[in-house]
């Protein structure tokens, strides 16, 4: 029983991380119907950006978590946003109106490029890099369940940011413009909505969330490597599809389901953690085949 509870807690934390990344996938897909394969790498780059920020800090600031941690978030987010904006402007925007496979292939190229760029240019990126200890330490103990404080922070950030995002999309003027562009881009233009601005903003929001996720990932797992983007990116994409691509609530709920599947299958399914990855893919395939609109998606949104 305590094992189950512990794994449930771990699953929720994993889910919180995946949710932050999944929101970027789901928003971009909702607006330009692009599987932005490189979004996982934006998350990875942000993690390195956070680490680099810490490394560049003067020594006395490194010792003060209250200063260092927010600066790391800023650093990670800035790097993620810059990468995402450049990517949108120079890789994807020229391809609008091109056949749909073209931007998908471009996204693969961007993904490979970003991963390699970090591997080659970031010092010692070929091996795991330790993340600085500026995060709250220790555990929250609830009965037999231990939850690291970083995990609690991760869940709080994830849920909090998704609520803020949902409100922004539903209530603000730009949020309306984004929804309008997603529903009918031509008519949105007739309303005076500049699609370029909406799309860039979408990428920026996704990058900010991925930036938070990147830094928190380092804090929670204590070290980072260049493969983290691909793997977590796939998990997040699966979550977005599971929840119904384009739906913010769906992505978050999907992410928690994926997180739970990962920890629970690693515990209880044959093959253990070596195969948890495989179960997620099995779920992905089943969802795509039997309910491609996802749990919360609307069938009309499923595209040829």
Partner 1 sequence: MSTVDSSAKRSALAPLGKPFAIAGGVLAIVAALLPWVTFSLNDGNWPDKSTLQFFDAPFLVTGFRWHLLVLGVLVLIAAFAPIPSRGRVVRALGWGVALVSFVNAAYITVKGGGLGAITALDGATAFGGVVGIVAGVLVILAGYGIGVEPVQDWNVKVSTPVAYLVLLVSFGAVLYAVAAMLTTGGVGTANPYAGAIFLSFLGFAAGLLAALSGVGFVRWLSALSEQHRVFSVIVLAACALLLPFTEAGNEYWMTVAANIGIYAATAIGLNIVVGLAGLLDLGYVAFMGIGALVAANFSGAATAHFGITLPFPVAAVIAAIVAGIFGAVVGSPTLRVRGDYLAIVTLAFGEIFTRSAQNNIGGITNGSNAIPGIPALSLFGAEFNRSISIGAVKLPAGVLYYILIVLLVAATMAVFANLKFSRIGRAWIAIREDEDAARAMGIRTGKMKILAFLIGAMLAGLAGAVFAHKNGTVSYESFKFLESVTLLAAVILGGMGSIPGAVLGAALLFVLPEKLRDFEEYRLMIFGLALILIMRFRPQGLIPDRHRRAELANEDVGGAPVDEVHVGPKEAKA
Partner 2 sequence: MTALLEVRNLSVAYGAIEAVRDISFTVEAGQIVSLIGSNGAGKTTTLRTISGLLRPASGEILFQGKPIHNDPAHAILGEGIAHCPEGRRLFPRMTVEENLQLGAYVRKDDGVQADMDRVYELFPVLGERKHNKAGLFSGGEQQMLAIGRAMMSKPRLLMLDEPSMGLSPIMTQRIFDTIKELQSLGTTILLVEQNALAALALSDHGYVIDLGKTTLDGPGHSLLADQRVRDAYLGEAH
- For the CB of residue 199, give the shortest distance to partner 2 in the complex, in Å: 12
Q: Is the dihedral of CA 105, 109, 112, 115 positive or negative?
A: negative
DSSP state of 89: I
- For the CB of residue 148, give the shortest distance to partner 1 in the complex, in Å: 27
Cα 33 from Cα 301, distance rounded (Å): 10
Cα 80 from Cα 286, distance rounded (Å): 32
Cα 107 from Cα 87, distance rounded (Å): 9
Q: Which part of the chain contacts partner 2 (CB under 8 A), choosing from 181-189, 210-218, 248-256, 289-297?
A: 181-189
Q: Per the structure block, which two tokens stand in for 195? A: 């699609």
Q: Does 249 bind partner 2 (CB under 8 A)?
A: no
- For the CB of residue 60, give the shortest distance to partner 1 in the complex, in Å: 36
22 binds, among partner 2, partner 1, none (CB under 5 to 8 A by kind): none
Q: Please, where are the H alpha helices in the chain?
A: 2-32, 39-56, 59-62, 65-87, 101-121, 149-171, 173-183, 185-190, 195-221, 228-243, 248-268, 276-290
Q: Any idea which residue has 């600031």 for tokens?
A: 61
> Residue 39 or 301: which CB sits closer to partner 2?
301
From 31, 51, 28, select the one nearest 39 (Cα to Cα). 28
Q: Per the structure block, which two tokens stand in for 161? A: 């940011």
Q: Does 176 bind partner 2 (CB under 8 A)?
A: yes
Cα 254 from Cα 237, distance rounded (Å): 10
* Residue of 40, 103, 206, 250 interacting with partner 1 (CB under 8 A): 103
How far CA 110 is from CA of 40, 79, 114, in Å, comes to 11, 15, 6
> Residue 65 or 175: which CB sits closer to partner 2?
175
> Residue 168 or 277: which CB sits closer to partner 1?
277
* Residue of 26, 111, 202, 225 interacting with partner 1 (CB under 8 A): 111
Q: How far apart are the first and last CA of the chain?
A: 45
* Residue of 16, 22, 27, 32 interacting with partner 1 (CB under 8 A): 32
Q: Does 127 bind partner 1 (CB under 8 A)?
A: no
Q: Does 268 bind partner 1 (CB under 8 A)?
A: no
> Residue 120 or 140: which CB sits closer to partner 1?
120
Q: Does 289 bind partner 1 (CB under 8 A)?
A: yes
241 binds, among partner 1, partner 2, none (CB under 5 to 8 A by kind): partner 1
Map the footprint of partner 1 across residues 130-189, applying CB under 8 A. 181, 184-186, 189
- Let me know: does 261 contact 279? Beta carbons within 8 Å: yes
Beta bridge partners of 147: 140
* Residue of 24, 75, 195, 266 interacting with partner 2 (CB under 8 A): 195
Indicate the SS3 state at residue 208: helix
Q: Does 184 bind partner 2 (CB under 8 A)?
A: yes
* Residue of 190, 270, 289, 303 interacting with partner 2 (CB under 8 A): 190
Instruction: Kindly list the residues in this chain that would bind partner 2 in the complex (CB under 8 A).
Output: 173, 176-177, 179-180, 183-184, 186-195, 298
Instruction: Kindly list the residues in this chain that would bind partner 1 in the complex (CB under 8 A).
Output: 32-33, 35, 91, 94-106, 108-117, 120, 181, 184-186, 189, 195, 199, 230, 234, 237, 241, 271, 274-275, 277-278, 281-282, 284-285, 288-290, 292, 300, 302-304
């Amino acid at each position: 029983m305590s094992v189950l509870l512990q794994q449930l807690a771990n699953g929720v934390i994993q889910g919180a991380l995946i949710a932050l990344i999944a929101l970027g996938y789901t928003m971009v897909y909702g607006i330009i119907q692009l599987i932005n394969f490189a979004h996982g790498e934006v998350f990875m780059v942000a993690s390195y950006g956070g680490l680099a920020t810490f490394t560049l800090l003067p020594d006395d600031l490194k010792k003060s978590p209250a200063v260092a941690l927010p600066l790391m978030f800023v650093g990670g987010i800035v790097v993620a946003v810059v990468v995402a904006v450049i990517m949108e402007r120079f890789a994807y925007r020229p391809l609008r109106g091109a056949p749909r496979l073209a931007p998908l292939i471009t996204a693969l190229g961007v993904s490979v490029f970003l991963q390699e760029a970090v591997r080659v240019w970031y010092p010692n990126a070929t091996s795991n890099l330790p993340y600085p200890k500026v995060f709250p330490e220790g555990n929250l103990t609830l009965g037999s369940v231990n939850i690291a404080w970083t995990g609690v922070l991760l869940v709080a950030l994830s849920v909090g940011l998704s609520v803020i995002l949902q409100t922004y999309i539903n209530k603000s003027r730009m949020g309306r413009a984004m929804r309008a562009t997603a529903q009918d881009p031509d008519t949105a233009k007739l309303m005076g909505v500049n699609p370029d601005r909406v799309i860039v903003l979408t990428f920026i929001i996704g990058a900010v969330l991925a930036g938070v996720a990147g830094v928190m990932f380092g804090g929670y797992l204590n070290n980072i490597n260049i493969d983290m983007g691909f793997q977590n990116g796939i998990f997040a994409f699966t979550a977005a599809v599971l929840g119904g691509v384009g739906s913010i609530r769906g992505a978050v709920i999907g992410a928690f389901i994926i997180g739970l599947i990962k920890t629970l299958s690693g515990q209880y399914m044959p093959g253990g953690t070596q195969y948890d990855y495989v179960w997620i893919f099995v779920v992905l395939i089943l969802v795509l085949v039997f309910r491609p609109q996802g749990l919360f998606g609307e069938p009309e949104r499923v595209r040829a």
